[in-house]
């Protein structure tokens, strides 16, 4: 088995808890002394740094939310003089105003190490050619995997997103072995490779795909089309970027880099901490960062934590795939609908994950349409056959969601592809 930092990735629970406690105590003190915004929250809750003696005291600390980050924008949560920071990154703005995060060189080194762990867990080494098609720039995807690949010593192709023809050319000419991008872009590249008959010219063996939710069915689809192993990777700008957690060869969830980030699962309505194995909102506390160490940050991402032994030998806790974001949940005619549910129906029925959900409000009533792309084979079917397929999809969606969308099958390649995160929902309601 290959590890990048086995002393941390395979530490005993006792040693990990001791390390986490030591780092937590230090970080709380650092934040209390340097971040007026969080000091106020602690004072309001009647908590002092001295009250936090180990990770058992974690739940005494107040939560931070995305709206705190927006309130404190841009410098309000910076824990060091600006002169000590060397980089900013920013969220994609999927759900509103972007927020910024700051890094010292040490923070970047740790982030890169986390991504290096992900690359090694996916079978990467200095002999690999890592093709990074995540966007570079403010988005953390490109810089994160780029830094990780350098740490591993792999040859790094900093492709960034866009220009599919050039991506494919470099992938073939330089024999790229590991592809890093969003799962939706991986599916798009796979489509192009098959359409152009390039399968034999591609040397990929693994993919590290994240930054957006994807299903097990989509994983199988990409793995089959590209003849690779596809690994999930998770992260968010506020906590550092990709590499907060990563999948190993077991492919049953992502190991959290617990020596840097302590995860908790809470009930999103009450804020109560939930036991392992229960689905809820993921919360992270950074314990090794200098410039932007958020404490108990509510990610709004929904998942489950499990501590079962993993066949890879890592002892790091595992988080399940993200089943939704509390903020991507749509409430349509009073019913909660997650795009991931719709995707699961489509993948089960053998459709590619090219779909769009369009919600509007007409005469005070929500309208709900799911547009689904047909494959070229389906497209040649008669109108009657297409109507029958729409009817079948509608029945499966009604069974899954409890409400009925209008299902429309549209021509192959008619839904705009994204080179970064896919745009799944168009909500035209003005409420």
Residues near Zn ion, by CB under 5 A? 248, 250, 310, 312, 314
Of 66 and 314, CB closest to Zn ion: 314
Q: Which value, in Å, is the radius of gyration of the alpha carbons in the chain?
A: 22
Nearest approach in angstroms of CB 119 to Zn ion is 15
How many other β-carbons are positioned within 10 Å of the β-carbon of residue 33? 11
The distance of closest approach from Cβ of residue 316 to ligand ADP in the complex, given in angstroms and rounded to an integer, is 16
Q: Show the beta-strand stretches assigned E in 345-394.
A: 355-362, 365-373
Out of Zn ion, ligand ADP, none, which partner does residue 213 contact, by CB within 5 to 8 A per kind?
ligand ADP
d(CA 350, CA 356): 16
Candidates 425, 217, 181; CA nearest to 321 is: 217
Contact of residue 248 among Zn ion, ligand ADP, none (CB under 5-8 Å per partner type): Zn ion
CA distance 327 to 321: 16
First-to-last alpha carbon distance for the chain, in angstroms, is 54
Task: Report what 93 binds from ligand ADP, Zn ion, none; CB cut-off 5-8 Å by kind.
Answer: ligand ADP
Minimum CB separation of residue 197 from ligand ADP in Å reads 31
Four-point Cα dihedral 293, 294, 296, 298, nearest 10 = -150
Q: Which of 52, 325, 354, 407 binds ligand ADP (CB under 6 A)?
A: 325
User: For residue 295, what is the enclosing H or E element?
Assistant: none
How many of the other CB atoms lie within 10 Å of CB of 346? 24
Q: Does residue 351 have a cis peptide bond before it, meaning omega lies within 30 degrees of 0?
A: no
- Asked if 211 touches ligand ADP (CB under 6 A), the answer is yes
Single residue of 207, 210, 243, 263 touching ligand ADP by CB under 6 A: 210
The residues in 371-430 that bind ligand ADP, with binding defined as CB under 6 A, are none
Stretch that binds ligand ADP, among 25-33, 188-196, 228-236, 374-382 (CB under 6 A): 228-236
Question: Among residue numbers 137 through 166, which ones bind ligand ADP (CB under 6 A)?
Answer: 140
Name which position in 212, 221, 258, 264 contacts ligand ADP (CB under 6 A).
212
Closest distance of CB 247 from ligand ADP, Å: 9
Exposed, middle or buried, 357 (CB in 10 Å: 0-12/13-18/19+)? buried
In angstroms, the CA 349 to CA 23 distance is 48
Least distance (Å) between residue 318 CB and ligand ADP: 13
Q: Candidates 55-63, 211-219, 255-263, 270-278 — which segment interacts with ligand ADP by CB under 6 A?
A: 211-219
Which residue is associated with the tokens 């924008």?
73
| CB-based contacts of 227, cutoff 8 Å, min separation 6 | 199, 204
Per-residue binding letters, 237-256, with ligand ADP (x by CB under 6 A): x-------------------
Closer of 96 and 313 to ligand ADP (Cβ)? 96
d(CA 220, CA 50) in angstroms, rounded, equals 50
Pick what 310 binds: Zn ion, ligand ADP, none; C-beta below 5 to 8 Å, kind-dependent.
Zn ion
Interface pick for ligand ADP out of 215, 285, 299, 354 (rule CB under 6 A): 299
User: 82-141: which residues touch ligand ADP (CB under 6 A)?
Assistant: 91-95, 140
Interface with ligand ADP by CB under 6 A: which range of 55-63, 118-126, 232-240, 331-339?
232-240
322 or 422: CB nearest ligand ADP: 322
Tokens of 235: 């992260």
Minimum Å gap between C-beta 341 and ligand ADP is 14
DSSP conformation letters of 223-242: HHHHTSEEEEEEE-TTT-SE
Short-list 348, 342, 398, 340, CA closest to 372 = 342
Closest contact distance (angstroms) between CB of 1 and ligand ADP is 23
Q: Residue-wise over 2-13: b if at least 16 C-beta within 10 A, else e? A: ebbeeebbbbee
91 binds, among ligand ADP, Zn ion, none (CB under 5 to 8 A by kind): ligand ADP
Contacted entry of ligand ADP, Zn ion, none for residue 217, CB cut-off 5 to 8 Å set by kind: none
Give contact residues for ligand ADP (rule: CB under 6 A). 91-95, 140, 210-213, 232-237, 299, 301, 322, 325
């Amino acid at each position: 088995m290959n590890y990048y930092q086995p002393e941390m990735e395979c530490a005993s629970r006792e040693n990990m808890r001791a390390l986490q406690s030591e780092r937590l105590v230090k970080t709380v003190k650092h934040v209390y002394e340097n971040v007026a915004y969080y000091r106020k929250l602690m004072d309001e809750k009647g908590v002092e740094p001295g009250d936090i003696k180990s990770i058992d005291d974690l739940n005494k600390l107040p939560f931070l939310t995305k709206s705190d980050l927006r309130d404190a924008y841009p410098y309000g949560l910076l824990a060091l003089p600006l002169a000590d920071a060397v980089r900013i990154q920013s969220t994609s703005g999927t759900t509103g105003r972007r927020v910024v995060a700051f890094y010292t060189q040490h923070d970047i080194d740790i982030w890169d190490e986390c991504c290096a762990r992900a690359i090694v867990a996916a079978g990467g080494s200095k002999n690999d050619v890592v093709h990074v098609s995540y966007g570079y720039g403010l988005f953390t995807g490109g810089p994160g995997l780029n830094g990780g690949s350098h740490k591993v010593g792999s040859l790094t192709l900093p492709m960034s997103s866009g220009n599919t023809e050039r991506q494919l050319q470099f992938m073939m000419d330089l024999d790229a072995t590991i592809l890093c991008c969003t799962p939706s872009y991986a599916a798009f590249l796979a489509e192009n490779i098959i359409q152009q008959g390039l399968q034999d010219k591609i040397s990929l063996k693994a993919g590290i795909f994240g930054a957006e939710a994807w299903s097990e069915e989509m994983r199988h689809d990409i793995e089959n089309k590209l003849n690779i192993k596809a690994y999930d990777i998770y992260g968010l700008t506020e906590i550092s970027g990709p590499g907060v957690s990563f999948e190993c060869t077991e492919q049953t969830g992502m190991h959290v880099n617990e020596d840097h980030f302590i995860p908790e699962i809470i009930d999103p309505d009450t804020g109560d901490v939930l036991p392992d194995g229960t689905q809820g909102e993921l919360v992270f506390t950074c314990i090794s960062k200098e410039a932007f160490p958020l404490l108990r940050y509510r990610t709004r991402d929904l998942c489950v934590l499990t501590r079962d032994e993993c066949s890879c030998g890592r002892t790091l806790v595992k988080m399940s795939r993200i089943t939704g974001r509390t903020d991507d949940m749509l409430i349509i005619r009073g019913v909660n609908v997650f795009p991931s549910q719709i995707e699961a129906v489509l993948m089960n029925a053998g459709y590619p994950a090219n779909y769009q959900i369009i919600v509007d409000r007409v005469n005070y009533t929500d309208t709900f349409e799911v547009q689904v792309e047909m494959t070229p084979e389906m497209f040649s079917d008669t109108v009657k056959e297409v109507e029958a397929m729409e009817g079948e999809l509608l029945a499966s969606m009604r069974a899954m969601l409890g409400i009925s969308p209008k299902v429309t099958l549209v021509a192959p390649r008619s839904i705009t592809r994204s080179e970064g995160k896919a745009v799944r929902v168009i909500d035209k309601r003005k409420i």
